[in-house]
Structures are given as structure tokens and as C-alpha cells.
Amino acid sequence: MEHGTTITQFISEEQRHASGATGEFTALLNDIVTACKMISNQVNHGALVGALGSAGSENVQGETQKKLDILSNEMFIQCNEWAGHLAAMASEEMDDVYQIPSEYPRGKYLITFDPLDGSSNIDVNVSVGTIFSVLRCPGGIERPAVRDFLQAGTQQVAAGYALYGPSTMLVLTTGKGVNGFTLDQNIGEFILTHPNMTIPADTQEFAINASNMRFWEAPVKRYVDECLAGKEGPREKDFNMRWIASMVAEVHRILTRGGVFMYPVDSKMKDKGLGGKLRLLYEANPMSYIVEQAGGGSITGTHRIMDLQPESLHQRVPVILGSRNEVERIQGYHTEDV
């Protein structure tokens, strides 16, 4: 029977064309894929396996952890620690760098991940996802420290996300465009269903948490006001608005039909000494890599996110990403006097 290209086949073939590829990177991606399948299964079973609700603990950012946050983190580690591809890992759910246990061999890659992004959606059965970013471990490092993870987004070797929605999808870039795979539950394999995903340069759809409107800075307020003014306003067209509160689902929508996603820095965050809501190393950078590879843009407002030099493991940054012409317009609003 005819079946599509599996993700394993796809990655192997892509790597076969890469000069000097040893197969290690392919094997690492396979372990990540297995982790996403396990998390998908757990998310899918939800209350049936007692996986919903709070775990009664807080992560390093002071956010309440859900049982599924912790379970997903454990599954991701289990699938990726044993095979000898990684030198260390870092996650939204762990304060410090996770060292590979001494009984396992160490490899040349680092990984950062958010095991289950969009936690506020878990208990209400709305889409959530896993985000990951693969970096090279600097040479000669025995025990990777935080500084070894502080690499600009442009240094990423690969980035991807799994979306646990009506179907489970995995979207991946290794720097040669963006490809989407759908999990066929019957055979347990991700099949290439969305080759070469691209983001239209123009859009009439934006996503932002409008409850923060009174705290926004002038350029963001100007952009949203102009969108809301519709046909009668300066944009001379009507805009649609969405807010899922799951970055993975928002980015996936943008990869599918275009749009802009914004979680800007605002005065409330600044008062608390925060640089934004989303985390640079395991949310903003991997999503920026995917969006740029699909032809879109990703900025803080003033700067390209992937050019930022990270300063700490859990650093937060403002994020504005999506259709290129809109992102450029918003950047223009931030750099001119308004």
C-alpha cells in the first residue's frame, strides 16, 4: 500500500545530502520525535490517566506547574538522555542545566525545550505543544554550564515544535525550509503532510492578548488601533483577531495562513523588571528560526530576535512574529518617533 514519507525517512534523506553528516544528528531528531509521540499520547489521555490539574509546585519563573508540565518534562528527558547525542539539556521546567547522568555517553549537541507550552490550556482541552531548539555544544566542554547555552538564535542547528491539537503535528526546520508532519495514530509515525511551509508576506489577521492594552507601548498601540479601525482607518482594510494563549497553535496558524503574533513588552512587565513574557532560549528563538525559514519575520519590536546575545537561561523577551510585511511595518513604528 502507498504511504507518505515518514519523518525518519525525511530526516535521513535530508542528512544524507549534508556533507560530513555522521548520522548522530538524525538519531537525535528521532529521539526528539519519540518524546513528542509519548507526550502526545499522555496529553491525549488527559483525565483518563489522572494527568490533568496542578502538581502543587512552582517552576523557576514562579508559575504553578501542572502535572502534565512535569510529566512531559520527564518524558522528554527520558527519551533524550541515554543515546549519547547530547552534552546537556535545559528546560522551562528546570531551574538549572540538566547534566547527562554519568552512566550514559555524552554527545556534541545541546537542547533547550519547553515540554508543554500553553499550560493554561491543558485543563480546558485546548491545543498545547512542545517547543525545542538544538545547539552545538562548544568544543572541549566536559560539563556544560549556563554560558554554553547562551548562543544567539542564528547558531541553532535545528528547531521545531509538536502541536497537540485535533491531530498531532510536528513542524521542523534544519535550516533548509520548514516541513510539517502529521502523526498517523494507527501506525505511530509522523508522515510528511505539509512540505515546504511558507508564510504569506501580507495578512489581515493579528493575535495579541488585548487585556494588556492599557499597558502597551505606543508603537504596539498604534498598530493595533490601525488594524481595529478597519476599512475606514489608515490600513483601508478590515482585520480579524485571534488569541489562543498557546504560542505553538498561534505560530502554526500563521504558518498555515499568515498573520501576526505579538507578546510585546509592556509597562506592567517593566515595573516587575521583566523584559517580556516569552522565554528567549526555548520559545522565542526556535519559533523565530521556524518563522524566518518559512519567509516570515521575528523581532522584539526594534531588533531581530535571532541576533540577540542571550544573557541568562530563562531570559524573557518581547516577541512579534509572522507575515513579513506586517512585521516590518511594526518594526518601523518602533524605530520612528510616534
Residues of the shown chain interacting with ligand AHM in the complex, contacts defined by CB under 6 A? 63, 92, 114, 117-120, 209, 245-247, 263
Closest distance between ligand AHM and the C-beta of residue 297, in Å?
Answer: 18
Query: Closest distance between ligand AHM and the C-beta of residue 304, in Å?
Result: 20
Q: Which stretch binds Mg ion (CB under 5 A): 95-103, 112-120, 134-142, 151-159?
A: 112-120
Kindly determine how many residues on this chain lie close enough to bind Mg ion according to the rule CB under 5 A: 2
Neighbours of 137 (CB within 10 A): 19
Degrees (nearest 5) of the Cα angle 50, 58, 119? 55
Residue 292: contacted member of Mg ion, ligand AHM, none (CB under 5 to 8 Å, by partner type): none
Between 35 and 137, CB nearer to ligand AHM: 35
Which secondary structure element, helix H or strand E, spans residue 41, and what is its range?
helix 24-45
Contacts of 22 (CB under 8 A, 6+ apart): none
Q: Select the residue whose beta carbon is closest to Mg ion and give its number.
A: 117
Considering the complex, what minimum distance in angstroms separates the CB of residue 298 from Mg ion? 16
SS3 of 129, please? Answer: strand
Question: CA triplet 178, 179, 183: central angle to 5 degrees?
Answer: 145
Which of 118, 320, 71 lies closest to 220, judged by CA?
320
Nearer Cβ to ligand AHM (14/117): 117
Q: Which residue in the block uniquely carries the three cell numbers 508540565?
A: 69
- List the one residue from 114, 148, 250, 326 that touches Mg ion (CB under 5 A): 114
Q: Which of 31, 93, 117, 148 binds Mg ion (CB under 5 A)?
A: 117
- Name the binder of 209 from ligand AHM, Mg ion, none, CB < 5-8 A by kind: ligand AHM
Choose the one of ligand AHM, Mg ion, none that binds residue 152, judging by a C-beta under 5 to 8 angstroms depending on kind: none
Q: How many other β-carbons are positioned within 10 Å of the β-carbon of residue 276?
A: 21
Q: Which CB, 26 or 133, lies closer to ligand AHM?
A: 133
Q: E-strand spans in the chain?
A: 54-58, 64-66, 86-91, 98-99, 109-117, 128-136, 158-164, 168-173, 178-184, 189-194, 205-207, 240-242, 260-263, 278-279, 297-299, 316-317, 319-322
Q: Side chain identity at 81, as an amino acid letter?
A: E
Q: Which residue lies nearer to ligand AHM by CB, 66 or 324? A: 66
CB of 78 vs Mg ion, minimal distance in Å: 20
CB of 283 to Mg ion, least distance (A): 5
Q: What angle do CA 62, 65, 66 make, to 5 degrees?
A: 160
Q: How many CA atoms lie within 13 Å of 47's alpha carbon, on the beta-carbon side?
A: 3
| Residue with nearest beta carbon to ligand AHM | 247
Record the cell numbers describing residue 97, joined without a space: 542545566
Q: Does 69 bind Mg ion (CB under 5 A)?
A: no
* Interacting partner of 245 out of Mg ion, ligand AHM, none (Cβ under 5 to 8 A depending on kind): ligand AHM
Q: How many CB atoms lie within 10 A of CB 23?
A: 10
Q: Candidates 58-66, 107-115, 134-142, 183-191: pick the segment binding Mg ion (CB under 5 A).
A: 107-115
Among residues 58 and 328, whose Cβ is nearest to Mg ion? 58
Residues that bind Mg ion (CB under 5 A): 114, 117
